Amino acid sequence: MGDYSTVSGSAATSKLLFRQLFEKDSSTYTYLLADVNHPQKPALLVDPVDKTVDRDLSLVKELGLTLIYAINTHVHADHVTGTGIIKNKVPGVKSVISKASSSKADIFVEHGDKIHFGNLFLEVRATPGHTVGCVTYVTGDGHDQPQPRMAFTGDAVLIRGCGRTDFQGGSSLQLYNSVHSQIFTLPKETFIYPAHDYKGFTVSTVGEELLFNPRLTKDEVTFNNIMENLNLPYPKMIDIAVPANMVCGLQDLTKRSSEPLAS
């Protein structure tokens, strides 16, 4: 696993702080990134989960970071996003999701957009197929950006797997094309950080998935056959999660027993 606890860009104008956080009920990874060389230490969370918002915000506070964005890779079907609760608890935080997701948020991103935090940024790559609005966020390409790059793939690429394509406008053909054109074209040493893992893996690389991914290394027709025969049960939370996530997650905090962030 790459040590991204803190990484300086070569010009030392930026310094990435990186944490991978886990929510066990949905096996979801949330990622915290910040530029700790910037006076405000601006930070963002990728794919926060409602149940672990308090943990994540405590960590943000302990590390002296200023949370500015709560970002989703897509409209999740298996858990409620933490973005709505975070917005309620931390004034000024903006929620971010792709325009193509048709979900509510403060900021809508499209392919090619950059999300800046301090002197660091994430590049937005459209990777539809698991859902229509899926995007992958890739750390910046530049002399003051951390190397190797890191790709937050949501459910497009999972470690030795990929997101299912049987609901939310999913398409195996589209997913195959998205991954091969937008993720597998990144340098082989690029780290892959998915939204979920069900086997205990934490990180992979583009090079590793190009060699060992049992679905995405196949040709398009074989991939389509694999995806049509997964026979996975629907996520337990889908009927609650999708409607909630279409409006940026829970908005009315009186409907859940979450404590305000201790000051």
- For residue 117, the Cα-to-chain-centroid distance in whole angstroms is 16
Distance CA 124, CA 119 (A): 16
Q: What is the DSSP string of 113-168?
A: -EEEETTEEEEEEE-TTSSTT-EEEEE--STTS-SS-EEEEETSEETTEE---SST
9 versus 163: smaller Cβ distance to Fe ion: 163
Using CB under 6 A as the binding criterion, the count of chain residues that bind ligand L3IBWBLD stands at 13
Please report the sign of the dihedral spanned by the C-alpha atoms of residue 161, residue 131, residue 164, residue 251: positive
Among 50, 78, 197, 209, the residue binding ligand L3IBWBLD under the rule CB under 6 A is 78
Among 2, 148, 207, 235, the residue binding ligand L3IBWBLD under the rule CB under 6 A is 235
**163 lines the binding site for ligand L3IBWBLD (CB under 6 A):** yes
Determine contact, residues 19/31, Cβ cutoff 8 Å.
Answer: yes
- One-letter amino acid for residue 59 of the chain: L
Q: Point out which span in 141-149, 178-186, 233-241, 243-251 binds ligand L3IBWBLD (CB under 6 A).
A: 233-241
**155 lines the binding site for Fe ion (CB under 5 A):** yes
Determine contact, residues 202/1, Cβ cutoff 8 Å.
Answer: yes
Q: Point out which span in 35-43, 156-164, 181-189, 251-259 binds ligand L3IBWBLD (CB under 6 A).
A: 156-164
Side-chain-facing half-sphere of 129: CA atoms under 13 Å? 27
Report, in Å, the least distance between residue 232 CB and ligand L3IBWBLD.
Answer: 5
Q: Point out which span in 18-26, 32-40, 87-95, 155-163 binds Fe ion (CB under 5 A).
A: 155-163
Contact positions vs ligand L3IBWBLD (CB under 6 A): 26, 77-78, 155, 161, 163-164, 196, 230, 232, 235-237
Contact positions vs Fe ion (CB under 5 A): 155
